[in-house]
Amino acid sequence: MPKPEKPVLITGASGNLGRFLTKTLAAQGWTLRLTDMAPFPDELPPGASFRRVDLADGLEVARLVEGCGLVLHFGGASTDEWAFESIVDANLRGLYHVYEGARLAGARVVFASSNHAIGFHERTEKLDADCSLMPDSLYGASKAFGEVVGRLYWMKHGVESVFVRIGSCFPEPIDERMLSTWLSYADLGRMMVACGTAATVGCSLLWGVSNNARSFWGQDDRVAIGWSPQDSADVFENKVLGKLSDSPIAEKYQGGIYTARG
């Protein structure tokens, strides 16, 4: 298995996706630096270290990125339920600090963006990666900000990025919408390996979605990066068909015209 030569920083390491990636990538021999505001809840795997850092602290973030060749940026506010001020600190300030750190270290960034950056596109034809940013929430707007800043750092400073517009990354689909939006953990893990080991990625975009027949999303940069999903939500159809999301404002979107959920 190919692996990055330099250490890899994972922000948001204590979250569900961060914990999964830590386990998976450490098992492949990656040298990991982990960080989160919350303590790391698992035993540290061999080759990994953890530091509790607030992404709003630019100096600390720069120290973390120093010497790394890759940042898997999964840290920050992860839903629209976060207060605006926390979104600003984690997703605007924090994002800027990660890119500044990457610029200084010469590191590549994989940014965990979200389908909510484009959630107010209508469900008509499948959306391609170059569709306009159309956030459905302040959280989605903060992810759009991240993609725009990432592009700036590519054009101005040559910092490579992959923006991953993650659909719904859960152990399995839990409602009908996820038959469209689900990304399996295993596909996410394989995606990070591809993003971390591709010779070049430039400034690319991937839809973070498994091979679902009902996916809302189409063309992206997967061929150039060398990733394609191997799992599919289709096998869960009987389990979740007709099951509505329990999101409090989901009714607005549920059978409706937008790809968003609340």
Please identify every residue annotated as catalytic: 139
Query: Please, where are the H alpha helices in the chain?
Result: 16-27, 58-65, 84-87, 94-105, 138-157, 178-181, 185-197, 222-225, 237-240
Kindly state the tokens that stand for 243: 């099951």
Nearer to ligand 15L, 69 or 94 (CB): 94
Q: How far is the CB of 167 from ligand 15L (least distance, A)?
A: 6
> Residue 41 is which amino acid?
P
| Kind and range of the H or E run holding 35 | strand 32-36
Residue 261 engages ligand 15L in binding (rule: CB under 6 A)? yes
The nearest distance, CB 104 to ligand 15L, in angstroms, is 28
Angstrom distance (rounded) from CA 26 to CA 4 = 12
Rank residues 114 and 215 by Cβ distance to ligand 15L and give the closer one.
Answer: 114
CB atoms within 10 A of CB 209: 26
Q: Which is nearer to ligand 15L, 7 or 208 (CB)?
A: 208
Which residues from 64-123 bind ligand 15L, rule CB under 6 A?
78-79, 114-116
| CB closer to ligand 15L, 30 vs 182 | 182
Least separation in angstroms between CB 207 and ligand 15L: 12
- Smallest gap, in angstroms, from Cβ of residue 105 to ligand 15L? 26
- Displacement of CA 261 from its chain's centroid (Å): 17
| Residues in 181-200 at the binding interface with ligand 15L, rule: CB under 6 A | 181
* Total site size for ligand 15L, rule CB under 6 A: 8
**Cα–Cα distances in angstroms (integers) from residue 173 to residues 18, 34, 60, in the given order:** 19, 28, 37
Cβ–Cβ < 8 Å for 140, 114: yes
Give, as ranges, the residues between 12 and 71 that touch ligand 15L (CB under 6 A). Answer: none
Asked whether position 168 contacts ligand 15L by CB under 6 A, the answer is yes
Give residues in contact with ligand 15L (CB under 6 A): 78-79, 114-116, 168, 181, 261
